[in-house]
Amino acid sequence: MFTRFGYFVVRHRKAVLVATFLFVLAAGAVGGGVTDKLTTGGFTDPGAESTRAKDLLERKFASSDPNVVLLVTARRGTVDDVAVAATGRALTEELAAEPGVASAISYWSLGGAAPLRSESARRALVLAAIDGSEDHISDVIKRLSPHYTRHDAQVRVAVGGQAEVFRQVDEQISQDLVTAETIALPITLLLLVLVFGGLVAAGLPLLVGILAIMGAFLALFVTASITDVSIYSLNLTTAMGLGLAIDYSLFIVSRYREEMHAGLTPHEAVVRAVATAGRTVAGSALTVALALSALLIFPLVFLRSFAYAGIAVSLIAAVGAVVFLPALLAVLGHRVDALRLWKREPKPVGEGIWHRIAVFVMRRPVPIAAGVILLLLALGLPFLRLAVSIPDDRVLPTDLSSRQVQDAIRAEFTTNEAGAVEVVAPDAPTGAAEDAAIDRYATRLSLLRGAARVDALTGSYIAGANVPVPDELTARFRGAAGTWLSVVPSVEPLSNAGERLAKAVRDAPSPVGEVLVGGRSAELADGKAALFGRMPWAGLWIAITSFVLLFLMFGSAIVPIKALLLNVLSLTATFGAMVWIFQDGHLAGFLGFTPTGTLAASMPILMFCVAFGLSMDYEVFLLSRIKEEHDRTGDNEQSVAVGLEQSGRIVTASAVLISVVFLAFATSGVAFIKLFGIGLALAVLMDAFVIRATLVPAFMKLAGELNWWAPPWMRRIYDRFGISESEAPDRDEPPAGPARTTGRAAQA
């Protein structure tokens, strides 16, 4: 199939180039506006109890979590001074009257509610709620934020809250993308020149990268018209679009040059490259896409968006490398080496450094494999301490307003009003007896560990005692039917203590009928349940699809199992480093982030799927050359050494290049994007330099000819459905004959 496709591309090379050019123009014109269609957030389970509680609270009680916080600081005196208090009341009324704002309360509007005043009395809070979808909230806060950031004679006002956090994360990521591209592109081009030795050849992967990124932007634009897609997926689109384009282009161009060095004409070399390297690239792209498709199992928009982006960019990068790039090579011919700065003749087979490394490892497979495995397991030990949470303001730099507001609340206020646990009782009846039941329920909840106060229709409760409060504070809990309660925490909402509080509220017996528990702490508990409850299914999907695809490519039942085990093992050190650096806070000062003692709950799962796909990508490249050599010689050790020699330089060059792209995202001001870049760069380098150089040759040496074994029933399946490719003839028409022997003899 790939041989015939190679002939087709060569014959219609100009038409292919024109069609590709038109596609890139159209994709850029349409997909260029994808940012406006993407959403922020996406870290919560849309079907969880906390989400249903939030929706019910908005729909039935016209109330919701305060997602806008104004931190008002008196320039002189305290917030109780007459002039400051008048300004505070006016500010509250102005904010409540804003279009899109459902409600607003403050220290002053509630008659001096102590929890909304700092311990020093110099600061007080205005809390507001914007209802609606994440996109609507984003639009409203973009309008409100600059207007309410104020400095006048009486007060200073800073805008914070969850809505402002996500707005500033959105802006920060947009800036970071530009910064990352500015850093990555020139360094990548320089490294490509060093790898290829010439400017023309070095520019080819960048052209494929542009095609992959523009095509993925178009795919995301279309997907976002159908369902929610997170803005964070743009980071993966850019990083993997450029990285995989370089990866696949290196393999195609290197094979093209290799075949011309073996004596083929440019057109023959293109066909041969498509038939061999093109098949490998297609298989590699499928492994990456299948690994990322596991993210679709999870209900979180954040993770599903990375699946949309990753599947699109990997497949489009493969199409660019197997269709557009060969057509361009067919047009360029020998001119692919134009503007060559130096010429490096390939070493004879058996003299390369990767050949010597493979031979060295295969002479001592047991001690080398044992030592490397023990080292990887030791480096992965910190991952046993993994603790996860939902991202909050602390993912942002300390100079942004939403971060400063929340830092002040943590340091100077005794409770976290915006992080309350909401208990919605939609069917609770009204009347004196029912009020007594609410009183008992609120009293019980106020005694829970981590609860600072419970606000309810019947009053406020602190440590089991009903505290008199203004009617304005209790009126919001009254609906046409039913009621709700607010459990204000004394602990950080997005922490283990906050999660325990939400679970304790859910476990507490309810005398007012069925209740739904929401709020940030409940969202954390529900999010972790949604993620970790589906992880086994995602792992099973990756294992089965990877096994099937590798079997269909190589006809072995052993090679896929070995690949799966080594890929998982290669991630141990990376995941240990994630916990050691970002959770424990080592290198926090150097890297510029605030450690919280947790990792974003979605990130280990996301990084596993991406890193696993990239590891399998390199596995396919290496195994393809090993199997090609084994089919030719039948010698297991020789095929491993030659296969590693033929692919080792390409894999390591690709790993260095793609790690540069990922490391560029380490400059991000958003902590979990920084984690994403550094973690994936470590995973790629560990896999290419440690796993492929040591464990692969060691395991293949120990297995011997068993590497290529499959039971008879599986062999019959492979013979009928296997993704194999016969060797391409060495001329522009596909007849068999002596040309095949001549080409192979020249290559040997």
What are the pLDDT digits (tens) for 477-499? 877 778 999 999 988 898 889 99
List helix spans (H) across 634-737. Answer: 636-664, 671-686, 696-703, 712-721
Ordered domains of the chain (ranges, CATH): 2-40+167-346+355-387+525-712+742-747 (1.20.1640.10), 68-160 (3.30.70), 421-518 (no CATH)
Work out the pLDDT band at 96, boundaries 50, 70, 90: very high
Percentage of the chain exceeding pLDDT 70:
94
What is the distance in angstroms between the CA of the first residue and the CA of the last residue of the chain? 25
* 340, β-bridge pairs: 198
* Helix-helix angle 602-633:520-554, to 10 degrees: 10
- Encode 369-378: b = buried (16+ Cβ within 10 Å), e = exposed: beebbeebee
User: Across all residues in the chain, what is the average pLDDT?
Assistant: 88
> By C-alpha distance, which of 688, 624, 616 is closest to 658?
688
The lowest-confidence range among 15-19, 696-700, 722-726 is 722-726
pLDDT tens per residue, range 442-480: 999 999 999 999 999 888 899 999 887 777 677 788 777
pLDDT tens per residue, range 649-668: 888 888 898 999 899 988 89
pLDDT given for residue 730 in this prediction: 43
Rounded Cα distance between 331 and 328, Å, is 5
Paired tokens of 369: 């494999």
**Three-class secondary structure of residue 74 per DSSP:** strand
- Encode 167-188: b = buried (16+ Cβ within 10 Å), e = exposed: bbbbebbeebbeebbebbbeeb
* 467, β-bridge pairs: 460
Work out the pLDDT band at 741, boundaries 50, 70, 90: very low
Whether pLDDT at 726 is above 50: no
- Encode 120-136: b = buried (16+ Cβ within 10 Å), e = exposed: eebbbbbbbbbbeebee
pLDDT given for residue 57 in this prediction: 87
* pTM tops 0.75: yes
pLDDT given for residue 738 in this prediction: 35
pLDDT tens per residue, range 679-718: 999 999 999 889 988 999 999 999 999 999 999 999 999 8
Report yes or no: 519 and 422 within 8 Å, Cβ to Cβ: yes
Rounded Cα distance between 576 and 380, Å, is 4
Rounded Cα distance between 722 and 716, Å, is 9
pLDDT given for residue 408 in this prediction: 93
pLDDT tens per residue, range 125-154: 999 999 887 778 888 999 999 999 999 888
pLDDT given for residue 647 in this prediction: 83
**Three-class secondary structure of residue 422 per DSSP:** strand
Report yes or no: 744 and 632 within 8 Å, Cβ to Cβ: yes
pLDDT given for residue 350 in this prediction: 64
Report yes or no: 388 and 578 within 8 Å, Cβ to Cβ: no
Whether pLDDT at 731 is above 50: no
